[in-house]
């Protein structure tokens, strides 16, 4: 089966993807910035599946040397890297740009753009050398040009994800590497829940309505994404969970059936 590297995979959708790949017999390299959390997740998944199938490598994607070390560790352990997923990303506080603390800007830009570029560069170099491989970049709010007050910086970085992926698809034409993107939609993670709990009551209630209609658990979205990745055999594929048709259907359905997903998470 295939070997997979996922950046930012000690929690959230990254961890969900790792677990689904392991369920299907793949070998997975988890990565994250915090050693303790990473070791904990590797242990949990190793007990559930097999320690031979999962390993962890500390990696801050804003450091190109650590990204290269991630590739090297995966290659040494499994002989090759079939799939590389650039999932690592962070967001800023939900504040208008002129109210946002300047210190929040660089980490978001460096992680979501510079880290993405490093990941693509390292994976492309390694996969061209080994003669095969697939790279997927994770999209997010703003990738399609949507705007929302308070998400200006984050949305800008995710818009860059779309541009970079499309540009690399053209650049890599003629190489043995396939590039694509993943659009998971609105996924409930600990990070999202923490941000919502810190919102003013009025804003929280408004957001809850949207999340109850459109959001999904990691356990719902991750299997779809992984199955689609493993079936894909061409470059330029964009794997989308929350399609425009699904959005319309859910809003229409919400008129008759009220979904209360957020209450399951104590929101």
| pLDDT tens sequence across 111-140 | 999 999 999 999 999 999 999 999 999 999
Q: What is the chain's mean pLDDT, rounded? A: 95
Specify the pairing of strand 187-188 against strand 133-138: unpaired
- Separation of alpha carbons 242 and 135, rounded Å: 21
> Which DSSP category does 186 fall into?
S
Q: What is the tens place of the pLDDT at every residue in 203-221?
A: 888 889 999 999 999 999 9
pTM: 0.95
Structural domain count of the chain: 1
- Is 213 contained in some domain? no
Most distant pair of Cα atoms in the chain: their distance: 55
Task: Give a yes or no: residue 179 inside a domain.
Answer: yes
Least confident of 169-178, 190-199, 204-213: 190-199
Residues classed as catalytic: 154
What's the count of helices (H) and strands (E) in the chain, helices before strands? Answer: 10, 9
Q: pLDDT tens digits, residue range 8-59?
A: 999 999 999 999 999 999 999 999 999 999 999 999 999 999 999 999 999 9
Q: H helices of the chain, where?
A: 12-23, 35-48, 64-78, 105-109, 115-130, 152-171, 190-197, 201-214, 218-231, 244-254
Residue 37 lies inside a defined structural domain of this protein:
yes
How high is the pLDDT of residue 209? 92
Parent domain of 158: 3-185+218-242
CB atoms within 10 A of CB 216: 18
On whether residue 235 sits in a domain, the answer given is yes
pLDDT computed for residue 62 by the predictor: 98
CA terminus-to-terminus distance, the chain: 40
Exposed e or buried b per residue across 46-60, where buried means at least 16 C-beta atoms within 10 angstroms of its C-beta: beebeeebbbbbbbb
With CA atoms as reference, report the closest residue to 41 among 65, 64, 17.
17
State which H helix or E strand residue 240 sits in: strand 238-240
Q: Domain of 164: which CATH number?
A: 3.40.50.720
């Amino acid at each position: 089966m295939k070997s997979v590297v996922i950046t930012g995979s000690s929690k959230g959708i990254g961890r969900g993807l790792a677990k689904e790949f392991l369920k299907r017999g793949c070998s997975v390299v988890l990565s994250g910035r915090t050693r303790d959390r990473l070791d904990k997740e590797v242990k949990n998944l190793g007990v559930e599946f097999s320690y031979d199938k999962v390993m962890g490598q500390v990696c801050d994607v804003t450091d190109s040397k650590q990204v290269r070390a991630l590739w090297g560790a995966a290659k040494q352990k499994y002989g090759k890297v079939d799939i590389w997923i650039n999932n690592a990303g962070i967001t800023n506080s939900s504040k208008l740009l002129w109210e946002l603390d300047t210190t929040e800007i660089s980490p978001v830009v460096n992680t979501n753009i510079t880290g993405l570029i490093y990941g693509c560069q390292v994976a492309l170099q390694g996969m061209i050398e080994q003669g095969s491989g697939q790279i997927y970049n994770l999209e997010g709010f703003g990738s399609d040009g949507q705007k929302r007050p308070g998400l200006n910086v984050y949305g800008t970085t995710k818009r860059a994800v779309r541009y970079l992926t499309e540009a690399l698809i053209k650049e890599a034409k003629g190489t043995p590497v396939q590039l694509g993107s993943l659009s998971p939609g609105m996924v409930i993670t600990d990070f999202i829940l923490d941000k919502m709990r810190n919102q003013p009551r009025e804003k929280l209630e408004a957001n809850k309505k949207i999340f109850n209609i459109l959001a999904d658990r990691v356990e719902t979205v991750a299997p779809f994404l992984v199955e689609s990745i493993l079936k894909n055999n061409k470059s330029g594929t964009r794997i989308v969970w929350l399609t425009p048709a699904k959005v319309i259907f859910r809003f229409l359905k919400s008129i008759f059936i009220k979904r209360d997903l957020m209450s399951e998470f104590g929101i």
